[in-house]
Amino acid sequence: MRSYFVGGEAGGVGEFAGRHVLAEFSGVAAELLDDPVFLCESLERVLDKAGATVCELTYKQFEPHGVTAMALLSESHASIHTYPERGSAFVDVFTCGHKADPELAVQLLRDLLGASVSRVTTIHRGQEDS
């Protein structure tokens, strides 16, 4: 993996680089996608396993259905926005530095949700070391 890092030492305060993982899941049970407690607990669990530090979790339940769950991380943020009527969700995990693995967080969340289809894109943010 390329290192994307600017200034300071790796792992230090000067890091201004990271990986932003964008995912779309489908084939997920509607009841899971409309359960904010399950989604928040799942998001917290996968982020912890991926090495991220969760500072705060919040969610919004929509009517007639759908949930947005968000995690504020020391490393940046993570979110899931669900469409139970479609069995689908958008997932966004951005972490700065080298401590957390956003790709792992997304894979673990996909598995917890039992998504039958996933499309995942990773964007490297910041500047590459020379």
Secondary structure letter of residue 56 according to DSSP: E
Catalytic option among 40, 96, 98, 118: 96
pLDDT at residue 6 greater than cutoff 60: no
CA angle 20, 122, 33 (to 5 degrees): 75
Query: 96 an active-site residue?
Result: yes
Contact residues for 67 (Cβ-Cβ < 8 A; gap 6+): 33, 34, 35, 36, 39, 59, 60, 61, 80, 81, 82
Tokens of 111: 């598995």
Strand pairing class (54-61; 67-73): antiparallel
pLDDT at residue 1 greater than cutoff 60: no
Phi, psi for 65 (deg, rounded to 5): -165, 165
pLDDT in tens, 34-78: 999 999 999 999 999 999 999 999 999 999 999 999 999 999 999
Global pTM value: 0.87
Query: 98 an active-site residue?
Result: no
Catalytic option among 40, 79, 81, 88: 81
Residues paired with residue 94 on neighbouring β-strands, in sequence order: 20, 77
Catalytic option among 40, 42, 76, 88: 76
Query: 76 an active-site residue?
Result: yes
